[in-house]
Structure 1
């Protein structure tokens, strides 16, 4: 686990490039502004986003609210009879803006009183990292299963 909410890894798949793109496309729904959320194990392999000619940009459809869940970008490369998928996970841009604003408030309170400022920073860090890495690990396992990782 990194100390920042950013995760990059590669998957070598038994599937050819076109088959790998078709495999992820079978699990991706079109992005919607509002989704009905209900906790269910059927959500484990459901994503919203888009699949393009050379990659994908997706987020997992969650049955609960997690603002710190990662946005996943993938590039699918041809590797002979296999494919190589390079995946990058990072927080949503709005979350990063929220964190910058919250950090500014914490640093301002640090000037007034050290202990509450430090506690505020630690709370923000734990909140972001916990929410991000919980989902990142689930998504990585799901993507390895979808792409039939070697």
Structure 2
């Protein structure tokens, strides 16, 4: 399993660029700012939402629950001799990434401050020592939740693309 919330993938298929775009269009609808779910939803929607262009696409999975760590998927289609390559990048939403960086930085600074403050005290009480590790524990927990939630949804998309494009995954360099 990857330890960061991003992935670069390449799929190789025998399908033409036109067929890939057609299949992708059949599974993708325009992005909506507000999507009703639950009782208010008709449940009649496609698997993905986003924009599909001539040689690229920017989409994300439509899910019936909240997941701030849902991958944003960008793809580029490259035709070759006898096969077509689809290069896919899965990333966190920019706002979520910025929020996480700021939040984790604040927690790291708080943890460093607490450890240096408690290490100067003559009497080390177990409660104060435990409190100094709380920000580190929060950093570990949010990191694990982010990675697991991102890859949980990312794995569904990887399987979806492999089946949709009748493709095999290529090993990525770098």
Q: TM-score, normalised by structure 1?
A: 0.91
Bigger mean CA deviation after superposition, 65-74 or 105-114: 105-114
Specify the structure having the higher radius of gyration (Cα): 2
- Does 2:157 correspond to 1:125? no
- Does 2:23 correspond to 1:27? no
**SS state at 2:73 partner:** strand
**SS state at 1:76 partner:** strand
- Does 2:111 correspond to 1:93? no
Counterparts of 1:91 and 1:76 in 2: how far apart (Å)? 21
Counterparts of 1:133 and 1:44 in 2: how far apart (Å)? 23
- Spell out the pairing of 1:26-105 with structure 2 (5 A cutoff): 26-38=26-38, 46-105=47-106
Counterparts of 1:45 and 1:145 in 2: how far apart (Å)? 16
Structure 1 outlier segments of 4+, above 4 Å? 42-45
- Number of aligned residue pairs: 147
Shift of 1:43: 8.6
The answer for the alignment partner of 1:9 in structure 2 is 9
- Unaligned 5+ runs, structure 1: none
Structural RMSD (CA): 1.8
Q: TM-score, normalised by structure 2?
A: 0.79
Shift of 1:45: 6.2
2:133 to 115, 118, 121: 115
Counterparts of 1:142 and 1:44 in 2: how far apart (Å)? 16
Q: For residues 2 and 18 of structure 1, do their structure 2 counterparts lie closer, same or farther at Cα, with a shift above 3 Å needed? A: same
**SS state at 1:126 partner:** helix
- Does 2:156 correspond to 1:138? yes
The answer for the alignment partner of 1:149 in structure 2 is 167
Counterparts of 2:45 and 2:152 in 1: how far apart (Å)? 13
CA displacement 1:4-62 (0-9 Å, x = unmatched): 11111111112111111111111110011011234xxx899610000001110000000
- Unaligned 5+ runs, structure 2: 116-131, 169-174
Q: For residues 93 and 8 of structure 1, do their structure 2 counterparts lie closer, same or farther at Cα, with a shift above 3 Å needed? A: same
